[in-house]
Amino acid sequence: MIKGCTCCHISLVIQKELFDDRYGYPGKFSLMRCRECGHAFLQHEFTPEQLTDLYSNYYPRSGFDVESYQPYREETGFSAWLDGKKCSAFRWVPKNVRVLDVGCGFGESLGYHAARGCDVYGVEADENIRRVAEKFGFKVHVGLFDPDIYEPDFFDYVTMDQVMEHVTEPLETLQGVPRILKPGGKAVLTTPNANGWGAKVFGRKWINWHAPYHLQFYSKQSMRMLAEKAGLEIDSVRTITASAWLHFQWLHLLTCPKPGEPSDFWAGSACGKQVDFTMAQKVIIRLLGLMNRVRVNHLITRLFDALGMGDSYVFVLSKP
Ligand SMILES: [Zn+2]
């Protein structure tokens, strides 16, 4: 059972016909929104077996080779701003601190922090991280986030990049964070904003619905209530969105499949597979590429972020 917001008095269906428009997991899904706090959540019950099937058999793991591992590079200045680089939680972490990245993928953020003098820890369910951790000496827990394996009051920073939308029980997940943060320590969470311009304009075809992988869509109010219940305070809330995702949104509109079928973009060309696009699609893809190169997507993304209506939230929370 997916738990939604922490008040959840009256929820209304806001999207009825969502489906996995990336990888073709079968079924249609409804999204509910709480009338009190604006939190939206997928109305569905997954058995643990179904969740395992969803992530093991539908969600593609990009090919990973430890020899070609590259940590994220430091990126600052105008072009980093134009790209929306600070949409990623790890970019909010200063040098020389102790940091835990929950959902650290292949460890690119861990290498970034290590190069900046941080004491680096990670959590990742994908086994591939083990080889990176062994090679570079990162302290990584393979599995789900478990606050009990760390000393209390241990970390300066905990980051969760695009993690909170995947969890079935947001409060249970977030409650572990203040236990391991030092007093004054910070948690940086990034997650899609279903109240931004993208969801309004693209409706059911907004890329960040990402049913049924995304289960939770926080509003400022639902995150505030959640943070308070977990023992954290909100320092700041902004929307910062990667410009590349608007380019992906156009490609998504062009290639949106029928329910139960994988997308030619997400499960095809984005995974490096050969796809037989029609001539019309090829022309449009070229035009979209041109539009992206002259930075049209970047300007649109920066404008809506400046208005606080971007597609992705950055929540900075702190432990009192
Ligand atoms: Zn609510």
Confidence band for 174, pLDDT divided at 50, 70 and 90: very high
Bridge partners of residue 314, in order along the sequence: 190, 238
**Residue 107 clears pLDDT 90, i.e. is over it:** yes
The Å distance, Cα 316 to ligand 1 centre, comes to 21
Confidence band for 296, pLDDT divided at 50, 70 and 90: very high
The Å distance, Cα 277 to ligand 1 centre, comes to 43
Q: What percent of the chain has pLDDT over 90?
A: 77
Q: What is the pLDDT of residue 303?
A: 98
How far is 170 from 42, CA to CA, in rounded Å?
Answer: 13
pLDDT in tens, 9-31: 778 888 989 999 999 999 999 99
Could you tell me which residues come within 8 angstroms of residue 13 by beta carbon, excluding any fewer than 6 positions away? Answer: 30, 31, 32, 43
Unique residue bearing structure tokens 């002259």: 294
The Å distance, Cα 266 to ligand 1 centre, comes to 32
**Residue 7 clears pLDDT 90, i.e. is over it:** no
Could you tell me which residues come within 8 angstroms of residue 272 by beta carbon, excluding any fewer than 6 positions away? Answer: 63
pTM: 0.94
Residue-averaged pLDDT of the chain:
93
The Å distance, Cα 229 to ligand 1 centre, comes to 13
Give the pLDDT mean for 225-231: 96
Lowest mean pLDDT among 24-38, 39-53, 161-175, 293-307: 39-53
How far is 200 from 194, CA to CA, in rounded Å?
Answer: 8
The Å distance, Cα 156 to ligand 1 centre, comes to 30
Residue 288: name the closest of 242, 241, 253 by CA.
253
**What is the dihedral angle through the alpha carbons of 265, 271, 19, 171, rounded to the nearest 10 degrees?**
-130
Q: What is the pLDDT of residue 63?
A: 67
Q: Which two tokens stand for residue 163?
A: 């993690």
**Residue 126 clears pLDDT 90, i.e. is over it:** no
Neighbours of ion ligand 1 (CB under 5 A): 5, 7-8, 34, 36-37, 39
How far is 72 from 205, CA to CA, in rounded Å?
Answer: 30
The Å distance, Cα 26 to ligand 1 centre, comes to 29
CA separation, residue 310 to residues 4, 93, 198, 213, 292 (Å)? 22, 22, 7, 21, 18
